[in-house]
Amino acid sequence: MEHPENDELYRGLKVNKGISGVPTVNPYLTKRLQRKEYSPSEFVEGILKGDITTLSQAVTLVESSKYEHQQIAQEVIEKCLPHAGRSVRVGITGVPGAGKSTSIDAFGIYMIEQGHRLAVLAIDPSSERSKGSILGDKTRMEELSREKNAFIRPSPSAGSLGGVARRTRETIVLCEAAGFDTIFVETVGVGQSETAVHSMVDFFLLIQLAGTGDELQGIKRGIMEMADGIIINKADGDNVDKAKLAANQFRNALHLFPLPESGWTPQVLTYSGYYKLGVVEIWKMIDEYIAFTKNSGYFDLKRNDQSKYWMYESINDTLRDTFYHTPAVVDRLKEAEQQVLNNEISSFVAAKQMMDLFLGNISKNV
Ligand code: GDP
């Protein structure tokens, strides 16, 4: 029936007939919800073809803490392993504002121009607190994020640093199997995360800035010792001389360190990520390092050491997880903590009691 307001009396107003059965769910969403669940072999097939959507979905499984997801993820990783390893892995660290994202954008575009395929991953231990990592964020790498040969993935956010790092380590395997021959792992230069990144890359790059006063202040000795190359960013405009001065200070400081196990003397270069100056030289340095260490055998030695390290890390993680999820332990833990606080038992006795409880529980279940 025509609407009464469509009567001639109601000028300037036309009411149309409604439509029946307005969809309550966005049809696009229903389609998405019905998305097919891939089997591990389908994931592997897609990854080996270099399909980015499949790769992203597999990485999501790797990052998931759900048991079912982990089961699939581990199978996919295992099947991808024979196709992994053929890449150059570069760790990039620097304090916030040092120019990590600007530099990764510049380095990445350069690598892609050279015909490489690049994956940018990140480890951000603070991301759990802040609910989302700013590292490896696409919006920070404007040019690179438009490149089809670049895969950018922010830091996994769930769990401890060890857990986050392990997931990134596993993601490297998937990216390599998908044909990415250059991997960047970004981290913030403020603490433990460098050690984690160092244990999964071939070359560790430290981004520094020229500042006022003593350039070396505030840089942890350990981080400098890990670096295979130190690059002083923002060597542009009025800052060029200051950057060169800082580079000299770093070179002098490095002389005081013993020669690294690799036999490679870490180099110090100045550059400008923003104006893309000195990028070629940085890559020449990395290429030289890779050739040098492959020639000496150190490249493979380090990768083997890293594999061993990750095996133990994984065991430690699993042990810790199992311990803290054992119901008998969970039931008693708070009580033991209180007894320690009340000085009724010592920390060590409490720890021993908890371990006995845990181990007793395990042997019962075997
Ligand atoms: P991040 O926090 O380490 O990722 O640092 P960003 O890449 O976000 O850079 C921090 C600020 O420094 C931004 O405002 C950049 O535009 C600026 N910046 C980065 N690289 C350079 C450079 O080479 N020269 C100059 N002058 N500024 C730069």
pLDDT tens readout for residues 107-127: 999 999 999 999 999 887 765
111 within domain boundaries: yes
Q: Is the CB of 97 under 6 A from ligand 1?
A: yes
Total domains in the fold of the chain: 3
pLDDT number for residue 129? 55
Same domain, residue pair 115 and 252:
yes
In this prediction, residues 11-38 reach a mean pLDDT of 60
CA 247/CA 245 separation, integer angstroms: 5
97 and 239 share a domain?
yes
pLDDT (tens digit per residue) in 312-337: 988 888 888 889 989 999 999 999 99
Same domain, 231 and 354: no
Does some domain include residue 333?
yes
Q: Which of 102, 104, 142, 277 to mutate to test the pocket of ligand 1 (most atoms within 8 A of CB)?
A: 102
Q: What is the mean pLDDT of residues 232-248?
A: 93
Q: In ligand 1, which atom is closest to the CA atom of 277?
A: 23
How far is Cα 60 from Cα 76, in angstroms, rounded to an integer? 12
Question: Range of 346's domain?
Answer: 326-365
In a domain, 21, yes or no: no
Residue with CA closest to ligand 1 atom 6: 99
Are 266 and 260 in contact, with CB atoms under 8 Å apart?
yes
| CA 283 – ligand 1 centroid, Å | 19
Closest by CA to 229, choosing from 209, 196, 251, is 251
For residues 191 and 137, membership in a common domain is answered with yes
236 C-beta closer than 6 A to ligand 1? yes
Please state the atom number of ligand 1 nearest to the C-alpha of residue 104. 7
Q: What are phi and psi of 342, to 5 degrees?
A: -85, 5
**Position 9 in a domain:** no
Q: Identify the domain boundary among 249, 281, 296.
A: 296
CATH number for the domain harbouring residue 71: 1.20.5.170
Do 78 and 118 lie in one domain? The reply is: no
Domain check: are 47 and 185 in the same one? no
Highest mean pLDDT among 96-105, 154-163, 210-219: 96-105
Distance, CA of 103 to CA of 98 (rounded, Å) = 9
CATH classification of the domain holding 117: 3.40.50.300
Residue 116 and residue 201 share a domain:
yes
What integer pLDDT is reported at residue 283 of this predicted model?
96
- State the helix-helix crossing angle for 67-80 and 52-63, rounded to 10 degrees: 130
Atom number of ligand 1 nearest to Cα 135: 4
3 lies in some domain: no
| Domain stop point among 251, 276, 296 | 296
Q: Ligand 1: which of 140, 145, 232, 274 to mutate, judged by most atoms within 8 Å of the beta carbon?
A: 274
Q: In this structure, is residue 321 part of a structural domain?
A: no
Task: Identify the band that residue 213 occupies on the pLDDT scale cut at 50, 70 and 90.
Answer: very low
DSSP H or E segment with residue 286: helix 279-296
Please give the sequence-ordered ranges of beta strands (E in DSSP) within the chain, or none if there are none: 88-94, 118-123, 150-152, 182-188, 203-209, 229-233, 267-270
Q: How far is the CA of 98 from the centre of ligand 1 (A)?
A: 6
What would the two tokens of residue 156 be? Answer: 């996994």
pLDDT digits (tens, 9 = 90+) for 130-189: 555 666 666 778 889 899 999 999 877 766 777 788 889 999 999 999 999 999 999 876
CA 21-25-28 angle, 5° bins: 115
- CA 275 to ligand 1 center in whole angstroms: 10
Phi, psi of 14 (to 5 degrees): -130, 125
Asked whether 140 and 174 are in contact (CB, 8 A), the reply is no
Residues 243 and 354 in one domain: no
Q: Examine residue 308 and state whether it is found in any structural domain, yes or no.
A: no
- Is 272 close to ligand 1, i.e. is its CB under 6 Å away? yes
Q: Whose CA is nearest to atom 18 of ligand 1?
A: 99
CA 273 to ligand 1: nearest atom: 23
Rounding to the nearest 10 degrees, give the CA dihedral for residues 230, 200, 173, 189. -60
Q: Which residue has the tokens 């042990």?
A: 319
DSSP annotation of 272 reads: B
326 Cβ closer than 6 Å to some ligand 1 atom: no
AA identity, residue 209: L
The reply to whether ligand 1 has any atom less than 6 angstroms from the CB of 132 is no
User: In this structure, are 201 and 222 located in the same domain?
Assistant: yes
Please, are residues 350 and 337 in contact by the beta-carbon 8 Å criterion?
A: yes
Q: Are residues 44 and 66 in the same domain?
A: yes
On whether both 121 and 262 belong to a single domain, the answer is yes
- For position 133, what pLDDT does the model report? 60
H/E segment holding residue 91: strand 88-94
Please answer whether residues 174 and 59 qualify as being in contact, where contact means their C-beta atoms are separated by less than 8 angstroms: yes
Cα separation, 122 vs 133, whole angstroms = 9
DSSP string over 207-231: EEE--SS-TTTT--HHHHHH-SEEE
Those residues whose C-beta lies under 8 Å from the C-beta of residue 356, and which sit 6 or more positions away, are none
